[in-house]
Amino acid sequence: MIGRLNHVAIAVRDLDAASATYRGALGAQVSEPQPLPEHGVTVVFINLPNTKIELLEPLGADSPIAKFLERNADGGMHHICYEVDDLIAARDKLKAGGARVLGDGTPKIGAHGKPVLFLHPKDFNGTLVELEQT
């Protein structure tokens, strides 16, 4: 069902500082910040030869990333994103197998302009999983 690893997302308190660290220490090319009000975050992407790193900064006090940073003061890995060919079929198969889809199960448009869903971390070894339609 799952395809390639699309990205690993890291929650940060200061997107500019984190971007500067990736640029300076690792020589990474970092995209321009992209606010995603529907998801409560501002993101940048670091393109790697085989995947991407997504840095997430809270966009407002109600952001799920703000809540994550309350529990994880230094930030850290927030989620991992896998590509799927058919998001609705993947959702339905996962739900039939007992996995919990977060929200109402309706896909939202993600940072790449494609539909995404999130799966409950308790169902995936403590890791929040994002699925993105290819």
Phi and psi, residue 126, nearest 5°? 80, 10
Q: Mean pLDDT in the chain?
A: 96
What is the identity of the amino acid at 125? Answer: N
Q: What span, in angstroms and rounded, lies between the C-alpha atoms of 56 and 76?
A: 10
- For the chain, the domains span 2-133
Structure pTM?
0.94
Contacts of 57 (CB under 8 A, 6+ apart): 11, 12, 13, 14, 15, 18, 33, 41, 42, 43, 65
pLDDT at 21 over 90: yes
User: d(Cα 105, Cα 94) in Å, to the nearest integer?
Assistant: 11
pLDDT in tens, 29-71: 999 999 999 999 999 999 999 999 999 999 998 999 999 999 9
What span, in angstroms and rounded, lies between the C-alpha atoms of 48 and 22?
A: 12
Q: What is the CATH number of domain 2-133?
A: 3.10.180.10
What pLDDT does 44 receive? 98
CA dist 29 and 118 (Å) reads 27
Asked if 130 contacts 82 with a C-beta cutoff of 8 angstroms, the reply is: yes
Active site residues: 130
pLDDT at residue number 79: 98
3-state secondary structure of 47: strand
Find the mean pLDDT for residues 71-77: 95
Whole-number pLDDT of residue 128: 97
